[in-house]
Chain A
Amino acid sequence: MLNYKIEYIKFELIYYEGLTLKNSDILIIIPAYNEAENIELVVDNLTYNYQCYDYIVINDGSSDNTLDICKQNGYNYLDLPMNLGLAGAIRSGFRYAYSLGYKYVVQIDGDNQHDPCYISNMLDYMQEHNDDIVIGSRFVNKRKSRSIRMFGSNLIEVSMWITTGKRIKDVTSGMRLYNARMIEAFGYRANFGPEPDTIAFLINCGARIDEIQVEMRDRVNGVSYLSFTKSIKYMIHMLYGILVFQWLRKKGKL
């Protein structure tokens, strides 16, 4: 009964009010965990300057008032009832994209580090080179600075190079563009987190993955998702995933 009512109201909204959920072929997924200070910056920039793209904010069970801000400003959002972590949040975004039939998905962070002006470049590059994933990378033309963080990044880069034969400079970048078949894979398959180990596995499955240079801003408000112990855990997880786990998985067609 409830379903029937919802369908009816949806029908009325779409046909009489001209309201649709989907206005574009490109969806921007913005995972947000406790990003109350930043989310307005990110989404307002998108709604004023980039109306050609659709977006969805995924509130990953934030404990601050991220959800209230989304509600008050009338943003398009999904509210996860509890914290799933980045992989789970992104996954719900991909499922949303798949259910509405989007052709491309862009993943950007909710902390205003990524500038949406590079999306059109990434899209052009993807169409030109027939890529499955295009990564917005900080280090295509620029060298990495020397720090523990970059050491970790290098370690992952080298292990990916050994196992796939491809060098991806900024493996941990959170700005990525996916095409339609990746949307299905990331939304519905097991062990497809938006992380380097999946990228390595996909390269070995024959997916085309490239990266282009983008500039990223530094985080202004709030703290990063990764603390020290979490970083160590993340590194172990990634190295195990790239060096051991991917060989045990079934390489299917995508």
Chain B
Amino acid sequence: MTTLLRICLVTLAVFSIIFMIYRIRGAKIRLQDTAFWIFTAVMLLILGIFPSVSFWASDILGFQSASNFIFFIMICFLFEKILTISIVQSHMEEDYSVLVAELALRNKELEEKINELEDS
């Protein structure tokens, strides 16, 4: 594991934490969505600062080098994130079509009521 990789990991972690805090302070992100990124950033920070952790883990899991282990971990995280985003997106599209239909129905109901009141 090279020093450059470690520096990359630490910078990435620090930047993502700073960015997250910035978003949270601007009240632009929900609590539920921050947990993943804070957790990931802390993981990367640990891996960057203590390389022995990734040496130990790659020994146990049978990776040829520690950097392979780190790439594997990152791929896992990204895979999980894409999976959840895809599920959420599917939900949202469904909700969106229901909402538009509801809106049209309620508008129609309202218009009919108003016409009724006007006629009477």
Contact = CB atoms under 8 A, between A and B. Distances in A.
Interface of A: 2, 5-6, 9, 81-82, 189-191, 197, 237, 240-241, 244-245, 248-250
Contacts of B95: 82
Interface stretch (B28-36, B62-70, B82-90): B28-36
A15 to B, nearest CB: 15
Interface of A is mostly: helix
A89 B120 CA distance: 35
Contact of B27 (A81, A197, A250): A250
Interface in B16-66: 20-21, 24-32, 34-35, 38
Interface residue range, chain B: 20 to 34
Contacts of A245: 24, 31, 34
Interface of B: 20-21, 24-32, 34-35, 38, 95, 98-99, 102-103, 106-107, 110-111, 114, 117-118
B99 A248 contact: no
Contacts of A2: 107, 110-111, 114
B21 A190 contact: no
A244 B38 contact: yes
A249 B110 contact: no
B18 to A, nearest CB: 11
Given A2-B110, A250-B25, 20 more contacts: A2-B111, A5-B114, A5-B118, A6-B114, A81-B98, A81-B99, A81-B102, A82-B99, A82-B102, A189-B27, A191-B30, A191-B31, A237-B31, A244-B38, A245-B24, A248-B20, A248-B21, A248-B24, A249-B25, A250-B27
